Amino acid sequence: MSRPGSSPDEKGVSQNGDPGGQCPLFTNTLNAPVSPETRLLSAFARDTQARKVDLAGREYYSEEGKPFELRLVGKIKQQLSTDPTLHPEYPSSLGLREFTRKATEVALGKHSRAIVENQVLGVQTPGFTAAVRLGAELLRCWYDLSADWCGPVYLSSPCDDSLAGIFQAAGIQEIREAVGHLLCVLKQNSVLLPVQSQADKIVRSLWARPSVGGAHVVTTVLSNSAHLVEWQGEVKHIVERCMLIRAILREKLRLLGTPGRWDHLTQQGGLFCCIGLNGEQVEFLSNRRRVYLLPGGCLNVSAINCRNLDYIAESIHLALTSSL
């Protein structure tokens, strides 16, 4: 096909299929930097050692070492897939209204002052990192508009290594069924519409519309008291297992005489744990012991189980006591 206004002799593609008379695109394109997580995944996949251990995964793993899905979530997904009243839908850029309403009520309390006085904006996002990115973009936008704002930005510690990078990408120092929720609590409701319009504009430039699958599941759980109790019970089991793993790992390291204090293992909470190893010690674990951690020394607690716990504790001990 010729360009508008071009002569009939100008061809976009020659007869043998090669570009003809056109400046080839992407000729000098450089490879994008490989993320540390991608390098870890590649190294782990290439590793043929039987005792290799992946502690850098993002999902919750069962005691059997398999990615785990809550029984309730699986049950609801099955119900939704056979529900004849559900039809394909495209939510607004800010997400399913019922999802954001329920998520906001769970976070703040149904009768909280912020909700009653209409000082809250909830936005559905495709995962938690997307919520962080949107929040960073909103802060940057608001800071550009109002030079008065100079407040700090707080990130949980330890946190996903990508979170700080997300704020840097916004100018501030697998989607699947993932669903996140950005919750903005405002000082006064007079700024609600401006903030909402800015969020809408940013979302349309990032992902346009979030998917509805995960949001439907969450909304179903939060809208049914029996489901909510069951969900809380399953999550409680996960939390207790992770805390037990932390306690056992701490005790194993103490018995081995591993240098340092390890109380932080049980003082921290959540799926990820920052054990405090430096870069050389993390490399020792992956190169010499085939135990793969995130570069910052963080590990996924749920990936530790009765079959690999002793080996992991011994490997951490050696990383701290061997001559690197």
Q: Of the candidates 275, 291, 273, which has an alpha carbon nearest to the alpha carbon of residue 283?
A: 291
Q: How far is it, in rounded angstroms, from Cα 100 to Cα 212?
A: 12
Q: Of the candidates 138, 203, 131, 217, which has an alpha carbon nearest to the alpha carbon of residue 170?
A: 138
Specify the pTM: 0.76
The confidence band for 3, taking pLDDT boundaries of 50, 70 and 90, is very low
Contact 181, 126 (CB under 8 A): no
Q: What is the pLDDT of residue 116?
A: 96
Instruction: Report CA-CA distances (Å) from 197 to 18, 125, 200, 299.
Output: 46, 16, 5, 39
Amino acid symbol at 239: V
Q: What is the DSSP string of 224-264?
A: -HHHHHHHHHHHHHHHHHHHHHHHHHHHHHHHHT-SS--TH
Q: How far is it, in rounded angstroms, from Cα 166 to Cα 184?
A: 18
Q: How far is it, in rounded angstroms, from Cα 304 to Cα 15?
A: 59
Q: Which residues pair with 17 in a beta bridge?
A: none
The confidence band for 309, taking pLDDT boundaries of 50, 70 and 90, is very high
- Domains (ranges, CATH) in the chain? 36-68+228-321 (3.90.1150.10), 90-211 (3.40.640.10)
The confidence band for 164, taking pLDDT boundaries of 50, 70 and 90, is low
* Mean of pLDDT over the chain: 84
